[in-house]
Amino acid sequence: MLTHEEIERGLAENRDAPNGAARNAHAEVLVGAAEANGDWALFRKALDNLINAYLWSAESSKMLVPFARLLQEYDKDPGAFDRWDAHSLFWQFKWVATAISDSPEIPLESATGWLDEMERRYRIAGYSERPVREAELWLADAIGEDDRAERAYRVWLAADRDSMSDCHACELNGQGAYAVLRGDDAQALEVWQPVLAGERTCAEEPHRLLAHSLLPLLRLGRFDEARSHHLRGYRMARGNESLLPSIGKHIEFCALSGNESRGLEILAEHAAHVGPLVNADDQMAFHGGILVLLRRLTELGHGQSPAVPYEGLPRTVSELYEVLRASSLEIARRFDARNGTTRVSDRFLARIGREPLVDVLPLGVRSTALPKTPAPAAATAPAAAPVPPAAGFDELVERARQARDQGHPAADGLWAEVGVRVDARPQAEVDALVAADVADHRALTAARGGAANAAELLEAVRDGYRMLGQAQRAALAELRLASEAAQSGAEPERIRELLEVAARAAEALDADEPLRGRRIALAELASIRVESYLRSLEAGPEHDHVHGHGQDHGHGELAAGLGAFVAAHAEDLPDLVAEAEEMLGRVAVSQGDPERSLPLLASSAARAVSAERPWQAVDPLVLRAGVLMSLDRPEEAEEAARAALEHSAEVTEAETQGVVRLTLADILLRRADAAAEAAEHALTAAHWFDQAGLAADGGAQARLVLARAHAREGRNADAAEVLQSTLPDLLEHGEGQAVSAREFLGDLLRQLDDSRAAAEQYLLAAEVAKGWEDTRPQAALAQAAAEQLAAARLHQEAVAAYERSLELYRVTGDAPIAEVRILRSLAWLAPRENVTAAAWGQARDLMYQAAGVVEAALAEHGDTPAAPQLRAELAQTWLQLAQVLDWRVNSLEEADEEDGGEDGEDGKESPGAVVGRNAEVEALRLEEIGLSGRAAALYAELGPDHLGDRLQCVQYAAWTEQETGREEAGAARLSALIDELRARPEGVPEGLLERAQSSLDSLRS
C-alpha cells in the first residue's frame, strides 16, 4: 500500500502530467490508495485531482462518479472543506452539469435533477444564478425547448457575475455559439472579438474560439481571417485530447475550403483518437468534422484511397466514412431518445452534409497533394482557359486558331478542348484541317514534355499539313523538328541539317504568303539561338555556358547575331524582336554587365506590349526587377514587378504566375510598410507553384517569404506554421538556406514561448554549420540555444551549450562582448541546480572572468569606436555581480527563516552559526554597494546615453544601503543624482526624473 508521502508525491506528479488516458489511470490509482490509507483529507484531495484529470481529457464524462463521492464527503462534514476546497467543489458543479448534459446514457430526469440541485446549492451558498442559467440554456437547446433556452440566455446575461462565474473568455465563447445557432455569424464574431484579439484568454481560449470562428468567417467571406485563425488555432489545439472537437472543426474547415489534403494530414496526426471515446458528445463532434472531409474526398474520387486505421484495422476513405457515420448516428439517436426530439441527429446530418464554402482558399502551409484520380477528358484543359461551355464547335476552332496565331497563352487550353470534342465525334465527320491542327497541338505538347515519340509526331504533322496544302504550317513543323532535336540532345550536325531544312522551307513559301517573312525570321532567330548552344557544346566543358538560354560567354557571336536580328526586324516583327532583346538582356546579365541589360529588358517588354502581346512582357520585366534589386534600386524594381503582374493576367502557366508573385513579394518585403501585401503575393505564389508541381522548389521559397511577411506583421504563430510545413523542402536547398531557415524558425518559436522547440532548432542549425570555416555562426546559434534551454529550465543542457558557444567564440579570437555575456549567463546558472557555497563561489568567479575579458579588450581597443560598448559591458558585469550576491543573501536569509543552518545538540541552530551567517550577509551587502557604485561611475563616464543605466545602479546601491540600516546614505546617493539631472541644461530623457524622485520618496517613506 502506498504511504501518505508517496500519494502526496504522486498527486503532485499527476497534476503536472500530460493530459490523457495515462494521467487519468494514475489519478484513479491514487484515489484508491488514498481511500485505503484512511486519510480522508488526502482522499478528498485525490478525488479533486481525478475530476480535474478527467476534465482535460477525452474522458470528461467520467467525472460524475468522483464528483458525487466528493459531494457526499462535503455533505457529511462541510467543515472539513476549507474556503478554497469548498469553492473548488461548487466550481466543479458547472463541469458536471455539462458532462451530464453531454451524456446520453443519463436520463433527462436525472439531468434536470442535477441542474435543480446545482441551482439549490448555489442559492444556499449565496452564489449568483448566472452559471445555472448558462447550463440550463444548453440543456434546453439540446431538447428543443427554444423558448426556455432564450429565457435562460437572457437571464444568464442579466445575472450578476461573481466568483462562481466562468471566465469572460469562456462566457463569450458560449454567447457567440448561441448566436451561430440562431444564424447570426456576424453577431457571433463581434461577441468573440475580445477573445480572438487576445484581450480575454484562459487555459482553452482562444484555442476553441479560433476553431469555432472558422466557418462563420468563411460564410461571411472574411477569408484572410479564416486562414489565420486556422493556422494559429490548430497550432494551439494540436495533440490536445480535451480539444478534439476543435480539431474536428479544423478538419471540417479544410474540407470546405478546398484544402482536403491538409485535412487528411490533420486527421493522420490524430489517428490514435479516431475510435470510440468515453465522452460521446466529444466523439460525435470530432467525428463529425472528419465525416465532412471523408465525404468530400469520396466526391473527389478518393473513396478507395487509404484513410487512417479504425480500431486497429486499415480503412479506405469510404470504409471509414461508413463506420464513423454509423457510430455517430447511433450516438445522435441515443441523445434523441433521451431528449424526446430529433434535434441532435438533425443538426448532425446537416453538418456532415455541408457543401464547400469556397473552391480553394490557399492556406500557405505545405500539404502533400492528393493523388491524381481519373478525370473526364474534358477536364484536361487548364482551368484558366477561357472556354465558355456553350461555345459552338466552329466558333471554338476559330478562337483556338486566332489564339495560336497570336501566341496567346490560352491557345493550349482552347486546342485541348477542341481535341476533346474531336475525339467525341465520328472520324468521318471531322474536318481534315481541324484534325491536323489538333495533331499539331498534341505533337507540340509532346515535344515540350520531352516525349520519346515527339519527333515522330512532328513529322506526321508536317506531312499532314503538306497533304492539305498548308505549306506555312508545314514549314513551322520543320522548325519544331529542329528545336526538338536540340532539346533531345541530337548530334550537332543533325541539328544544323534540320535547321537548314526549316530555313529552306520558309524561303520556299510563295511570295504572296502573308506569313512568309515571319517564318523566315523565326528560322533565323532559332538558328542564332541554337548555333550558340552548339558552339558551346563543341568547345567542350571548359567553355562556360548557360544552358537555359543558349548563351556563349566566351564569344560575342550570339550577341552580334541577336543585334543584327533586332536591327533587321525592328519595324515589321516587334514580338520576335522582343524575344531577341530579352535574350540580349540575359546575355548581358550572364556576362556580369547588369546595367547594359536594363534598357534591353525594358525595350523587350515595351515591344511586346506594343505588339498587343502583354503576356510576352512578363519574363523580361521579372528579370529586370531582379537586376534592379541587385543594384539596390528597389523603387524601380517594384515598378517592374508590378508591371509584370499586370501583364500576367492572361498567362495560364502556373509556374510563371508563381514567379511573378514571388518576385513582387520579395521586393515588397524589403519595405517596412508592405508586409501585408507581401504576404498576399507570397501566399498566391505558393499556391501557383503547388499547382505547377513545384511545391518543394519555388513553393518553398514563396512560403519562406510568406513566413517572413507574417512575422513582420507580428503573426508569429502563422509564420511558424507556414515555415514548419515547408522546412523539409528548405533543408534540401543547401546548407546556407538550411541554417537560415532553422534559425528563423527558432526565432519564431522563441517569440511563441516554446523554448524547448526553439532550442532544438538552434542546435540543429548549429550542427549544420559545424563544418564551416567561420565558427561565428555556429557560436551564435549555440548561444541562442543555450538561452532557450535556460528558459526551459534545462540548466545542465544550457550550461553545455553556453560552454560550446564560448569555446567557438574564443576560436575567432575577437568576440569579447559575446564572451562576456556568455560568462555572465553561466554565472547565473551556476547556483540553479545545486545551491551550495561552491556554486556561489563559481558564480562569483565567472563574473570576474567576464570582467577580465572586457578589461583585456579595453586594453587592446581602448582608443577605438568599440571602447564605449566595452565599458558599458564592464559596468553591466559589475551590476550583475551585485545582483548575484543579492541572490546569495536572499538564500541565506531564507535558510535562516527555515532554520536550515547547522543544528546544535538540542536540534536548534548554534549561536555561532547564526552570527557567522549574519556577518556573511553584512559583508555581501557592502560588496553589493561597492559593485553597483563602480557600475554607476562607469556609466557616468559614458555620458548622457547611459543615464537610465546609471540611475538603475544608483537605485540599487541606495536600496541595498537601506537594507543595511543606512537609509540616509542611500537617500543621499539618489538625491545627488536627482540634483545633477535637474541641473543638466540639455535636459534628460522623459520620465527619468520622475522615476528617480519616486524611488527617493519610497526610500524615505
Beta bridge partners of 202: 205
Mean pLDDT on 139-145:
93
CB burial of residue 251 (10 Å; 0-12, 13-18, 19+): buried
* Residues whose CB falls within 8 Å of the CB of residue 602, separated by 6 or more in sequence, listed in order: 620, 624
Distance of CA 637 to the CA centre of its chain: 28
Q: In percent, how much of the chain has pLDDT > 90?
A: 77
Four-point Cα dihedral 201, 202, 207, 208, nearest 10 = -100
The H or E element containing residue 844 is helix 837-861
pLDDT at 149 over 50: yes
Higher pLDDT, 551 or 662: 662
SS3 554: coil
In angstroms, rounded to a whole number, what is the distance separating the alpha carbons of residues 960 and 965?
A: 9
Least confident of 121-125, 271-275, 550-554, 692-696: 550-554
Instruction: Please give the C-alpha separations between residue 243 and each of 291, 368, 644, in angstroms, as whole numbers.
Output: 17, 25, 46
Confidence of residue 550 (pLDDT cuts 50, 70, 90): very low
SS3 205: strand
CB burial of residue 452 (10 Å; 0-12, 13-18, 19+): exposed
Residues 617-640 pLDDT 10s: 999 999 999 999 999 999 999 999
- Specify the pLDDT at position 407: 93
Residue found under cell 458536471: 96
The residue count for the chain: 1005
Q: Which three cell numbers stand for residue 482?
A: 529542329
pLDDT at 913 over 70: no
In angstroms, rounded to a whole number, what is the distance separating the alpha carbons of residues 564 and 445?
A: 31
pLDDT at 556 over 90: no
Residues 724-751 pLDDT 10s: 999 999 999 999 999 999 999 999 999 9
Distance of CA 591 to the CA centre of its chain: 40
pLDDT at 485 over 50: yes
Least confident of 656-665, 744-753, 825-834: 825-834
pLDDT at 922 over 60: yes
- Specify the pLDDT at position 477: 96
* Residues whose CB falls within 8 Å of the CB of residue 507, separated by 6 or more in sequence, listed in order: 520
Mean pLDDT of the chain: 91
Residues 63-110 pLDDT 10s: 888 988 999 989 999 999 999 999 999 988 888 888 888 889 889 998
* Residues whose CB falls within 8 Å of the CB of residue 752, separated by 6 or more in sequence, listed in order: 716, 717, 720
In angstroms, rounded to a whole number, what is the distance separating the alpha carbons of residues 335 and 323?
A: 19
In angstroms, rounded to a whole number, what is the distance separating the alpha carbons of residues 288 and 348?
A: 7
**Closest by alpha carbon to 304, among 377, 371, 380, 376?**
371
Confidence of residue 365 (pLDDT cuts 50, 70, 90): very high
Mean pLDDT on 815-824:
96
The H or E element containing residue 556 is none
- Specify the pLDDT at position 910: 62
In angstroms, rounded to a whole number, what is the distance separating the alpha carbons of residues 258 and 270?
A: 20
In angstroms, rounded to a whole number, what is the distance separating the alpha carbons of residues 208 and 216?
A: 14
Least confident of 200-209, 225-234, 853-862, 897-906: 897-906
* Residues whose CB falls within 8 Å of the CB of residue 609, separated by 6 or more in sequence, listed in order: 617, 647
Q: In percent, how much of the chain has pLDDT > 70?
A: 94
CB atoms within 10 A of CB 860: 13
Mean pLDDT on 922-930:
93
Mean pLDDT on 866-887:
94
Which of 179-193, 271-285, 376-390, 852-866 has maximum average pLDDT? 179-193
Residues 950-970 pLDDT 10s: 999 999 999 999 988 888 999
Mean pLDDT on 684-712:
96
pLDDT at 379 over 60: no
Residue 462: HSE in the Cβ half-sphere, 13 Å Cα cutoff: 17
Do 419 and 441 contact (CB within 8 A), yes or no? yes
pLDDT at 288 over 90: yes
Confidence of residue 533 (pLDDT cuts 50, 70, 90): confident
Would the CA dihedral through 912, 915, 921, 922 be positive or negative?
negative
The H or E element containing residue 499 is helix 492-507
Mean pLDDT on 57-66:
82
pTM of the model: 0.85
In angstroms, rounded to a whole number, what is the distance separating the alpha carbons of residues 180 and 988?
A: 55
- Specify the pLDDT at position 865: 84
Residue-wise DSSP of 971-987: HHHHHHHHHHHHH-TT-
In angstroms, rounded to a whole number, what is the distance separating the alpha carbons of residues 726 and 866?
A: 40
Residue found under cell 581597443: 861
Least confident of 216-230, 623-637, 761-775, 857-871: 857-871
In angstroms, rounded to a whole number, what is the distance separating the alpha carbons of residues 395 and 573?
A: 28
pLDDT at 366 over 90: yes
CB atoms within 10 A of CB 421: 17
Four-point Cα dihedral 161, 163, 164, 167, nearest 10 = 70
- Specify the pLDDT at position 901: 45
Higher pLDDT, 547 or 817: 817
Four-point Cα dihedral 666, 669, 674, 679, nearest 10 = 70
Residues 975-993 pLDDT 10s: 999 999 999 888 888 899 9
Mean pLDDT on 220-229:
96
Q: Give CA angle at 915 (909, 916), nearest 5°.
A: 95
- Extract the runs of DSSP E, i.e. beta strands, from 148-296: none
In angstroms, rounded to a whole number, what is the distance separating the alpha carbons of residues 284 and 282?
A: 5
Confidence of residue 549 (pLDDT cuts 50, 70, 90): very low
- Specify the pLDDT at position 778: 96
Q: Which three cell numbers stand for residue 380?
A: 484536361
Q: Where are the alpha helices (DSSP H) in 387-453?
A: 393-406, 411-423, 432-448
- Specify the pLDDT at position 541: 62
**Closest by alpha carbon to 975, among 938, 1000, 948?**
1000
Confidence of residue 907 (pLDDT cuts 50, 70, 90): very low
Do 510 and 483 contact (CB within 8 A), yes or no? no
